[in-house]
């Protein structure tokens, strides 16, 4: 019998980033401002794609879904961290920790799938432009997004059910700013072999699979663009996917940085710091990337602001 074993643990402690009092105000202001920019920026993208008829295309349908997911990713982690900083309490309930972990798995998986779907959309648009509207019809677009939700939800549910069966002992401190699946498994004092197998299998299939789809799509795009003799044609082809390529680069490079930092350092703080990149920074930068490098989005946002600021005669 294992002394101290308690399957009905009621709470965990989230370490966060720093315990120094002089840094708490700075961290609170920094993450609050980043969260507000993320929510407002992505909401503007969603609003622009809904209200502007010029953006009623598959590409912007997927972009609006990506913006919604980015808001959800940030909302899953940042508000709890802000509350902890403000109240000087690192406590999170077991139910709250499990809920946060479940939603984080769901939305990170969705982020991965939607980026792959957007890469496929660019592949069809550039490599099969004459058949683009036939292939990327509304039914297929909805099915691609719906399929991403179904697979991500099932994965999140299955991983959460496996964590529910684990028991926890006395060491209930999570060296992170949110409840991460890997940390939850490592803290358990029961047999976690099944959890690790399923976790690595899901990471390999649901992570490597979409990434392979992105690589394949862009390899075909580059092969098609190389045969274009016109410099203007090549520039136009690359400009249509430049924003998405930059977002993909940020997302996967930061994820890779997290895994490398976690494997090379026994201290979890470098991993927590690297996690900020894809949980906070990348969702905040996505609206700027798409609006600054995309004339259609900039035009839609301009028309949206002009429509809201125009004063009607006699008012």
SS3 category, 127: helix
> Quick one: 25 exposed, middle or buried, by C-beta within 10 A (0-12, 13-18, 19+)?
exposed
Q: Which helix (H) or strand (E) holds 174?
A: strand 173-174
Confidence (pLDDT) at 282: 85
DSSP letters of 206-237?
IIHHHHHHHHHHHHHHHHHHHT---HHHHHHH
Q: How is residue 95 written in tokens? A: 């139910």
- What is the rounded CA–CA span in Å between residue 236 and residue 30? 38
Contact 221, 241 (CB under 8 A): yes
What pLDDT shows up at residue 5? 44
Q: pLDDT under 70 in the chain at which residues?
A: 1-9, 18-19, 171, 228-240, 256-273, 292-293, 308-315
Q: For the domain covering 11-309, report its CATH number.
A: 1.20.1070.10
- pLDDT tens per residue, range 59-87: 889 999 999 999 999 999 999 989 888 88
Domain residue ranges in the chain: 11-309
DSSP 52-64: -GGG-SHHHHHHH
Q: What distances in angstroms separate CA 52 from CA 33, 206, 207, 230, 292, one per listed residue?
A: 28, 33, 33, 32, 17
What are φ and ψ of residue 268, in 5° steps? -85, -10
In this structure, are residues 119 and 107 in contact, taking their beta carbons and an 8 Å threshold? no
Dist. CA 175–CA 179, nearest whole Å: 9
pTM (2 d.p.):
0.86
Whole-number average pLDDT of the chain:
82
Dihedral (C-alpha) 62, 63, 67, 69: value to the nearest 10 degrees? 30
* DSSP assigned state of 165: T
C-beta of residue 157 within 8 angstroms of C-beta of residue 102: yes
Which pLDDT does position 233 carry in this prediction? 63
pLDDT of residue 1: 38
């Amino acid at each position: 019998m294992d002394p101290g074993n308690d399957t009905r643990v009621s709470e965990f402690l989230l370490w966060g980033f720093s315990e120094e009092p002089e840094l708490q105000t700075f961290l609170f202001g920094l993450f609050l401002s980043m969260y507000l920019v993320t929510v407002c920026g992505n909401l503007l993208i969603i609003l622009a794609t809904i209200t502007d008829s010029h953006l009623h295309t598959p590409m912007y349908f997927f972009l609006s879904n990506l913006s919604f997911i980015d808001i959800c990713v940030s909302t899953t982690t940042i508000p709890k961290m802000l509350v902890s900083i403000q109240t000087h309490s690192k406590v999170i309930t077991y139910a709250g920790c499990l809920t946060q972990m479940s939603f984080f798995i769901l939305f990170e998986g969705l982020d991965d799938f939607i980026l792959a779907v957007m890469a496929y959309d660019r592949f069809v648009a550039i490599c099969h432009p004459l058949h683009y509207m036939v292939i990327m019809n509304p039914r297929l677009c909805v099915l691609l997004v719906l399929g991403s939700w179904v697979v991500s939800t099932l994965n999140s549910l299955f991983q959460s059910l496996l964590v529910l069966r684990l028991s926890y002992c006395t060491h209930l401190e999570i060296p992170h700013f949110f409840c991460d699946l890997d940390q939850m498994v490592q803290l358990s004092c029961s047999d976690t072999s099944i959890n690790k197998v399923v976790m690595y299998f899901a990471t390999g299939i649901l992570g490597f699979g979409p990434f392979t789809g992105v690589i394949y799509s862009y390899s075909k795009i580059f092969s098609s663009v190389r045969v274009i003799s016109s410099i203007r044609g090549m520039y136009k082809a690359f400009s249509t996917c430049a924003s998405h390529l930059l977002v993909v680069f940020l997302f996967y490079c930061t994820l890779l940085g997290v895994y490398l930092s976690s494997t090379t350092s026994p201290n979890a703080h470098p991993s927590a710091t690297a996690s900020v990149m894809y949980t906070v920074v990348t969702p905040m930068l996505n609206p700027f990337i798409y609006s600054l490098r995309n004339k259609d989005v900039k035009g839609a946002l301009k028309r949206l602001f002009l429509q809201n600021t125009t004063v009607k005669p006699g008012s």
